[in-house]
Amino acid sequence: MEYISTRGRATALSFEPTLLAGLAGDGGLYVPDHWPKLSRQTLEGFRGAGFQHVAKTVLMPFLGSDVRPERFAEIVDEAYAGFSHADIAPLVALDDGHYLLELFHGPTLAFKDVAMQLLARLMDDALRRRGQRATIVGATSGDTGGAAIEAFRGRDAVDVFILYPQGRVSDIQRMQMTTPTDANVHTLAVDGTFDDCQALVKAMFNDSEFRQEVNLAGVNSINWARVMAQTTYYFTAAAQLGSPDTPVGFSVPTGNFGDIFAGYVAAQMGLPVARLMIATNVNDILARVMQAGIYETEEVIATSSPSMDIQVSSNFERLLFELTRRDAPRVSGFMNALARDGRFEMAEDEVALMSALFDAARVDEAQTQETMRDVLKRFDMQIDPHTAVGLAAARRAVLPDGVPMVSLATAHPAKFPAAVEAAFGTGPDIPARVREMMTQPERISPVENALGAVQTFIRQNGRMG
């Protein structure tokens, strides 16, 4: 298995260098040169199988010969040992034919733990085997940062620097990043939006001198290993609902398009996926592109689902590569136009190809709250605002009779107490682990929204110099 860039001008790499590189040298994103196919028999074998078994089977073809199967099996087992639910990603029934896939039982209470716990161990393993160290930089709209810091804290081969938009994450999200005391983790509060943070990270990767100096590695969802690791739960959920005998629909609260792209990957690998619903909040660039084929950025609006307050969805580039039938020059053209004019226009057949598998729905703040209240009333269950966006969108999906719909529950409600309080009039139940964390002192480094300032901070505080 080799990985190629969506922009076509970077050397193809095997799995491990792809994992360590994050972004490709030509500014593109790595994708596998082909999609491995799982047999019907393999899919049938997933019924009743544990999450770890499915992860090992689904992910191994992506690793090629870079990681020994026995070592990978150990890494998978360790990665999910810290989850608080034995099923890792339990499926809960709501209405008839509608299910909630709970992805928030990891250490930082959001779905990003599922991929990050695996990625950190794969990366640490690769670096130690090579006798190398690396500097990880990542931008977070709230949940990635905590998940990365939790997964990498105390690991010897890496320093971690996380950039977050100051004032735009919840207290719990911030404290998950700022309370760990390990010397190898650093949290930078940037005077800007998430898109600014993401642009800073991209700029650091495009600065080849800096990139080499600190041996930069990325853990944002542009890292192929993140997307890859998220495919597992599409398979476990579908298997519980009778796959491969019946197709299944999924509704995915979407920001950077990483999680839902993992659903696309699962479909390419042979999982019968009926529809993939792109659920967005009022930052609805992905819903707009499906209507008119015009991808055009607007101002980011702050909402109660901050992890989806994104206008430039990085992983959409991976789908564009597919929709153009892997036409790298055309994808490069799109990305150049986006950087230059803030927009590009897709061809009709490209939009049609997208519509063959995807739907999109925009869910506003009132509908999000209404959905949270409705679920509390009917199922006595608190859900977080991101999950509510996904659920509201799921209800607008049109699926053939008898095809079940799975809404991805991407965060625990305790992570967003203000939104929960606004919807229910009382705050969420806070797990003991989180209450204890809220009493710890914080370490935050405010930085200017400027590349030079961030690079100076990393040079001064990292251990690569």
Ligand X SMILES: *Cc1c(COP(=O)(O)O)cnc(C)c1O
Query: Segment contacting ligand X (CB under 6 A): 200-208, 254-262, 354-362, 457-465?
Result: 254-262
DSSP-assigned letters across all residues of 133-149: -EEEEEE-SSHHHHHHH
Q: How far apart are CA 407 and CA 395, in angstroms?
A: 10
Q: How far apart are CA 251 and CA 279, in angstroms?
A: 7
Q: How far is CA 451 from CA 34, 196, 204, 335, in A?
A: 36, 10, 7, 21
Q: How far apart are CA 393 and CA 182, in angstroms?
A: 40
Residue 402: Cβ-neighbour burial (10 angstroms; 0-12, 13-18, 19+): exposed
Min separation Cβ 39 and ligand X, Å: 28
How many residues bind ligand X (CB under 6 A)? The answer is 16
Min separation Cβ 256 and ligand X, Å: 3
Q: Tell me the per-residue interface mask from 298 to 337 with ligand X, x by CB under 6 A, - otherwise.
A: ---------xx-----------------------------
Q: How far apart are CA 188 and CA 211, in angstroms?
A: 19
256 touches ligand X (CB under 6 A): yes
Which residue among 106, 218, 258, 413 contacts ligand X (CB under 6 A)?
258
Q: Return the number of the residue (257 or 344) whose C-beta is nearest ligand X.
A: 257
Handedness of CA 35, 36, 39, 42 (dihedral sign): negative
- 100 and 409 in contact (C-beta within 8 Å)? yes
* Positions marked catalytic: 112
Query: Segment contacting ligand X (CB under 6 A): 256-264, 361-369, 428-436, 440-448?
Result: 256-264
Min separation Cβ 394 and ligand X, Å: 14
Min separation Cβ 246 and ligand X, Å: 26
Report the candidate in 308, 451, 454, 453 with the shortest Cα–Cα distance to residue 390. Answer: 308
410 touches ligand X (CB under 6 A): yes
Q: How far apart are CA 289 and CA 59, in angstroms?
A: 31
- Residue 200, token pair as written in the block: 């800073």
Report the candidate in 362, 358, 361, 330 with the shortest Cα–Cα distance to residue 346. Answer: 330
Q: Return the number of the residue (32 or 258) whose C-beta is nearest ligand X.
A: 258
420 touches ligand X (CB under 6 A): no
Min separation Cβ 314 and ligand X, Å: 8
- Residue 79, token pair as written in the block: 């990665």
Min separation Cβ 422 and ligand X, Å: 17
Q: Return the number of the residue (104 or 152) whose C-beta is nearest ligand X.
A: 104
How many other C-beta atoms lie within 10 A of the C-beta of residue 212? 9
113 touches ligand X (CB under 6 A): no
Query: Segment contacting ligand X (CB under 6 A): 81-89, 150-158, 257-265, 324-332?
Result: 257-265
257 touches ligand X (CB under 6 A): yes
Q: How far apart are CA 83 and CA 87, in angstroms?
A: 9
Which residue among 148, 290, 411, 414 contacts ligand X (CB under 6 A)?
411
Report the candidate in 219, 216, 218, 214 with the shortest Cα–Cα distance to residue 463. Answer: 214
Min separation Cβ 308 and ligand X, Å: 5
Q: Return the number of the residue (72 or 257) whose C-beta is nearest ligand X.
A: 257
Pairing of strands 3-5, 248-253: unpaired
Q: Tell me the per-residue interface mask from 128 to 167 with ligand X, x by CB under 6 A, - otherwise.
A: ---------------x------------------------
Query: Segment contacting ligand X (CB under 6 A): 251-259, 343-351, 365-373, 391-399?
Result: 251-259
Q: Return the number of the residue (162 or 411) whose C-beta is nearest ligand X.
A: 411
- 288 and 294 in contact (C-beta within 8 Å)? yes
Report the candidate in 225, 204, 116 with the shortest Cα–Cα distance to residue 462. Answer: 204
Phi and psi angles of residue 210, each rounded to the nearest 5 degrees, phi first: -65, -40
Q: Return the number of the residue (216 or 411) whose C-beta is nearest ligand X.
A: 411
Residues in 384-403 at the binding interface with ligand X, rule: CB under 6 A: 386
Min separation Cβ 253 and ligand X, Å: 4
Which residue among 150, 159, 195, 259 contacts ligand X (CB under 6 A)?
259
- Residue 330, token pair as written in the block: 């055309």
255 touches ligand X (CB under 6 A): yes
Residue ranges in contact with ligand X by CB under 6 A: 110, 112, 143, 221, 253-259, 307-308, 386, 410-411
